[in-house]
Each structure stands twice: as C-alpha cells, then as structure tokens.
Amino acid sequence: MPVNLSLYLVTDSTPAILKGRDLFWVVEEALKGGVTVVQYRDKTSDTGVLIETAKKLHAITRRYNVPLIVNDRVDVAIAAGAEGVHLGQDDMSLVEARKILPKDAIVGISVSTGEEAVLATQQGADYVGIGTLFATPTKTNTKNIIGSLGCREILEAIGDKEGAPGAVAIGGINLSTVRRVMIQSQATCKALDGVAVVSAIMSAEDPKAAAEALSKRIEESRQPLPPRLPDPSVNQADYLSSQVPKVVQTMVSAHPLVHNMINYVVANFAANVALAAGFSPIMSPYGDEAKDLAIHNGGLVINMGTLTSESVPEYLKAIAAYNAHGNPVVFDPVGAGATHIRRAAVETLMKGGYFDLIKGNEGEIKQVFGQSKGVAQRGVDSGQSTLSDLEKAKMARDLARRERNVVLMTGAVDYLSDGWRVIAIHNGHEFLGQVTGTGCSLGTIAAAFLTTYREDKLLAVLAAALVYEIAAENAAAAKDRVRGPGSFVPAFLDELYAIREAALQGSDAWFIGRAKIEEIRL
C-alpha cells in the first residue's frame, strides 16, 4: 500500500515526553502541522488499554486521511482497524504478520544493517525504519548508533533491488539535524522518503508549529536523484567559467550577512575583506546569538584557528541554528591535525552538524577525511605535501561525496569538488600565503556566495575563489604600489572593491580571460 512517509510521528506517552498534556491533543495538533504517518507506540500498557487508545487515535488520523501504524502488536492493529503495523527485529516475522493482517495492510520493519534491509525487501516490507541514527533518551535498547553514513550504506544495499521499500530514518532527529540526515543519507540510487521523530514533536510546546517546521525543512532538504553527474560532452570548466560573472553580480547585489566564528588573529582582516567584497560581516564567537542571526538567511563560518575550551560548545549551538534554518555553514578546520584536542574537535563538529563547505589545506583535509596516518600538523600550516595532484583531486572528491557537500582543498593549486565534478584552480599569487588571514578570509567570502547562490554550491564556491584570487593577482601586479606582503594587503582590499564595483555595474571585464581552471576527470 503506497504511503507518504515524509513526516512520520512515533508517539510516546511517558510523562517526561507528554509533560502532562493529552496524547490525543498532541497527535491532532501534529496532524494539523503536516504529519503524514502516525505510529502508536506503547510498551507498557495492558492490551485493553492499547486497543482503546489505538481506536481513539485512529478516529483522529482518519479525519486527516493519515494512516495509523501500531508498533509491535499485530493483534492491537487488527482490533483497532489500524492501517498497519511496525515490527522490530525481535517481533513477529513479517511473513507471519502478513498471514494475519488484511491484504492491504502496511507493514514496516526496523533495520540497522544492510542485511536486515535486504531481507525486509525480499519479504515485501512496505517500508523500513532505519536507525538508530543518533543517541536518544526515548529508546535505550538500541543495537548501535549508525549515523547518517550508516543510513546511506543501508540505502545503498537496497537501492537497486526490485521492489525496494520506502525508507525513513529514526533516532534523535530534530529540526537541527533533519537537513543533515536527508542530505548525507542519500545513496546513489535511493534517498530517504522521510524521517521518523518522537520528542521533536511529542515534547514540543507547540506540536503543530514543530510539525510544520520539520515538514518544510524535509522538503527543502530533498536532493535530485541521481546526483548531478558531469555531462561528458560538456567541458565543466568552460561552462562554470561562463556562469561566474552572473554569480558574482548576484552576491554583490544581495549584500548578504555572514556570521563569522573566526579566530581572533584574523578577525579584523576578514571583516575588511567582507566589506571590500560587498557583504556584511558580524564577528561573534557567542553561539547563542546564532538563533537571532540565522533568521536573516545569512551564512555561518566556523574557523577553529584560536580554539579554546569554550569554542566547540559554542560552535555546535551556532551550527544547530543555521542548520535549522537551512542556511549555509562553512567549516575551516584550521590546524586540524596539530594537537589531539583539535583532532577531537574536528570529530565532534563533523558529527554535530551539516557543513555545506569544508575548506582547508592538504593537512587539514587529510585530518577531516581520516587519512592523516597519525602524523600531526606543525601549527596551522599544511606541512610538506605528501599527495600527488591526482591524489589531492581524488581526496577532495571523495570527501565531498562522503559528506554530500563541497570541499575546497587549498594550495598552490586549489582542488574543488562536489563529489562528482572536480575543478583545479590555478589562480592566485604567492603573497596570499605570506599574509596571516588570507586563507581564513577565503572561507568568509565563500560563505557569502553560498548564501546568495544556492542553486549550485560548487559554482558558488568557485566564483568566490576566483574573485579572491584574481583580486590577489591584480594587487600583486600593481608594481608602483606593491613591493611585498605588507603593501600587498591594502592593494588587495582595493582590488576586491574594484571587482565589486564592476559587478554592481554589470561589467564582467574584470573576469574575461582571467580564470585559470580545468576540469579533472577521475
């Protein structure tokens, strides 16, 4: 039986969740907010109470044309006339349940491995509930925590199977995590149909508003399937280059806000870069401010250059706020491999939110990717390169594909990828590597472009990099006023401003013939 799995509500009648409110009121408010499936779950009540409660819930769900699923208890589902049941791995088998249930009953199965999902597919499950994604207080008997990447592996296992069931993810999913779950879980041939939530709605002060917000975020997070692959007949470098002036004009006209949680060594320079390039910076390490700032649809930069014991919790608050609004977040893991504290911070942040862009030098990207081989960075510098050009391109591609985002590995040649397209950028000047803050400020300008041009993240970041590096080339070429890194900085800011003014006037003369980029086909 076809079922809309977009927003799947699992009930919980415990006092800690319901907070003294009426279960039926909470469920109906959630239905008003857009819940598409309701599962009645109660592990403690007697059978008579279960049936009576299920019947009352069913009377409500029918008014909204939404199916009621009963957890575990096939007998209760039949007695209440519910549309289906949800079975765990230790419950009655799907095959046996089908013998008892009405022919068109919906049957869902909990799975936590690819093998369980394949078996559920073979047995004809209508959908699978994949989890547990994140730790949750509402369900403590979890086999394991699989995360978004574990969810993707399960979807990969069933994506190309005939009769593949629908799929929802469950476990600790809320407004702050749902976007990351929907995007990062997407497999090559199959995406999640929706998510299942418990406390995100059942504990919400306003269940209707909570459901509305989740439903909106789920729809905004859906990605095209299959992922956009490069057209072999089109040179991506040429195509993307032709689009850059339009993207730049969009950014400078919008004048977006970028919230910088950036290291204090470069905060002033990054703010000046922002103003010169045509967007508004706010430099705030205070995570609680993000709730107010995120509503302006700007971007967030997490730059861990001057890490403190308070930094990571503040970063996580801000990431949650910007993820909840669907706004772009840039992660600059400065010095990611320098100390065990920084390595732990990277691991925590990668698990704690979704990043639209990860930008770093070779050493930092290695650490994020998990291929640092135990060799610590020396300070925040990348250190001696150990990868060939092809290996750098491949690592950028593979990390972007794993995280379902964009990765920019900076260096003498920058490698930019969205997991399928890979672009090498040969622009820039050596002075950029001799001035503190130039790499960090590139993350800030990338956030501005991601904020204003969301149709193609790779193109947005490419435009940011080209503006930045062409401005550097122009500044270094001004021999009458630039003699070295010291005099380079004011000239660089002037050239960013000049590009901004040209773009505001609709001119692309600053760009014609300047992009030195090539497509890398791996």
Q: Measuring CA to CA, which residue among 112, 105, 102, 107 is closest to residue 126?
A: 107
Peptide bond into 11 cis (omega under 30): no
Q: 299-303 and 166-170 as β-strands: parallel, antiparallel, unpaired? A: unpaired
Per residue in 161-174, is it b (16+ CB within 10 Å) or e — as a string?
A: eeebbbbbbbbbbb
Q: State the Cα–Cα distance between residues 306 and 194, nearest whole angstrom.
A: 39
Tokens of 476: 């270094």
Q: State the Cα–Cα distance between residues 85 and 39, nearest whole angstrom.
A: 8
**Taken in order 494, 498, 503, 509, is the CA torsion positive or negative?**
negative
Within a 10 A sphere around the Cβ of 90, how many other Cβ atoms?
A: 8
Q: State the Cα–Cα distance between residues 10 and 131, nearest whole angstrom.
A: 14
Q: How far is CA 484 from CA 411, 413, 493, in A?
A: 20, 21, 15
Active site residues: 440
Q: How far is CA 442 from CA 199, 344, 358, 438, in A?
A: 39, 24, 12, 6
Q: State the Cα–Cα distance between residues 520 and 425, nearest whole angstrom.
A: 10
Phi, psi of 11 (to 5 degrees): -80, 160
Q: State the Cα–Cα distance between residues 182 and 191, nearest whole angstrom.
A: 8
Tokens of 41: 């779950």
Question: Which position has the token pair 């300008």?
Answer: 445
Q: State the Cα–Cα distance between residues 23 and 459, nearest whole angstrom.
A: 48
Residues contacting 145, CB < 8 A, separation 6+: 132, 133, 134, 135, 171
Q: Measuring CA to CA, which residue among 479, 474, 480, 469 is closest to residue 498?
A: 474
Question: Which position has the token pair 């296992």?
Answer: 157
Q: State the Cα–Cα distance between residues 469 and 492, nearest whole angstrom.
A: 10
Peptide bond into 2 cis (omega under 30): no
Q: 127-130 and 106-111 as β-strands: parallel, antiparallel, unpaired? A: parallel
Q: State the Cα–Cα distance between residues 488 and 176, nearest whole angstrom.
A: 42
Q: State the Cα–Cα distance between residues 129 and 76, nearest whole angstrom.
A: 20
Q: State the Cα–Cα distance between residues 378 and 335, nearest whole angstrom.
A: 8
